[in-house]
Amino acid sequence: MSKIIHVVGARPNFMKIAPVIEAINASAARKGRSVTQILVHTGQHYTPEMSSLMFEQLGLPTPDYNLDVGSGGHGQQTGRIMEAFEQVLLKEQPDLVVVVGDVNSTIACALDAKKMNIPVAHIEAGLRSFDREMPEEINRILTDAISDYLFTTEESARMNLVGEGIDGGKIFFVGNTMIDTLLKHKDAAKSRPILKQLNLIDGNHNTQAYGLVTLHRPSNVDKVEPLKELLSCLAELSKDLPLVMPIHPRTKANIEKFNLMHLIESGNFLLIEPQGYLDFICLLSNAKLILSDSGGIQEEATVLGVPCLTLRENTERPITISEGTNTLVGNNPNAIVKAFNSALTKDFSEKRPKYWDGSAAQRIAEILLTHLA
């Protein structure tokens, strides 16, 4: 019998790990293998929309362990995760720990496992923004450096890893498990009533034109000047295209802290609470365009054929630019306005980079079960 621990902590992790658990179960059943899978939720994201509702909608099993670490500074949060996860490893003695993405839970649990000589698999390895001021970039580099299995979503990731001295035999180009989840749930998302609930459906049952905004990066929202400039720019754009904004808790707190709510009120914004997965994909797929500083949304927008303006100076997902619908615009208002006007006049279609085909998790399952054997 093999025992695998999967770690999730933040909202994007849930979409990436759900198909992997399902694929390992299916592959093990076909092979007549006995595999125990244990799900550990660190509790890094803990509001219902960011956690429990996601588990329900994605069909994830109830976590076997919830570490309930909550929010905090990077060192504080990472330390709490390591302390709690070490006890899980001591109790369960797994054969493998699977981590995903680039959040604090990813590096914390990978470090714990390696210090106990437990192999680590990193899903979404090799992505690089080349901006070491991003906490996520540090998490990516360190996690990849100690992982035994590195599963990549795009071909540039292999070049990054080899350039950092990673043994090529550890690297497996499998595709994007986040897209596995998107393709599986896309039709169900279309039938959600969220557009009607937000009065985005007119009397003729047509969807009204709107843009979708998400902001949460510290570089954009944790200091008053960049946040003020962004909100001022978005307020002007909203007069041409209404903007729906599911507001991140930290962004909301900073808008209030910096007394910037008047900028929201001066524009045509529809502020809503963070949404569950299906409702958010419904909003995403029906938007005229997206303005976001997220990583995963760049990928989802590409597959859905929706133009995405990324409000950052860099991206760790270059394939969404070269083969997708993404445009990197930074947070300069003039650049944002120019890209906004250009995106509204272009026609985009759905894009499927190599291996973004709904079978990435199946490839991962086959590799892991072969090696565990």
What does the block give as tokens for 15?
A: 């979409």
Looking at CATH, the fold of the domain delimited by 186-344 is given as Rossmann fold (3.40.50)
Q: Where are the domains of the chain?
A: 2-176+355-372, 186-344
pLDDT at 214 over 70: yes
Check: CATH 3.40.50.2000 for 2-176+355-372?
yes
Q: Torsions phi, psi of 247, nearest 5? A: -95, 125
Mean pLDDT over 201-212 rounds to 89
DSSP assignments along 10-58, one per residue: SHHHHHHHHHHHHHHHHHHHHHT--EEEEEEE--SS-SGGGTHHHHHHH
The model's confidence at residue 351, banded by pLDDT at 50, 70 and 90, is confident
User: CA geometry: angle at 10 spanning 9 and 12, to 5°?
Assistant: 125
Query: What CA dihedral angle connects 367, 128, 281 and 230, to 10 degrees?
Result: 170
Catalytic, 216? Answer yes
pLDDT at 47: 63
- Identify the active-site residue in 41, 45, 122, 216: 216
The model's confidence at residue 311, banded by pLDDT at 50, 70 and 90, is very high
Cα–Cα distance measured from residue 121 to residue 223, given in angstroms and rounded to the nearest whole number:
36
What does the block give as tokens for 112?
A: 């714990």
User: What's the one-letter identity of residue 315?
Assistant: T
pLDDT at 16: 97
Contact 215, 246 (CB under 8 A): no
Q: What is the pairing mode between strands 308-310 and 326-328?
A: parallel
Mean pLDDT over 68-80 rounds to 87
Judge whether 2-176+355-372 and 186-344 match in fold: yes
Q: Is the pTM of this model over 0.85?
A: yes
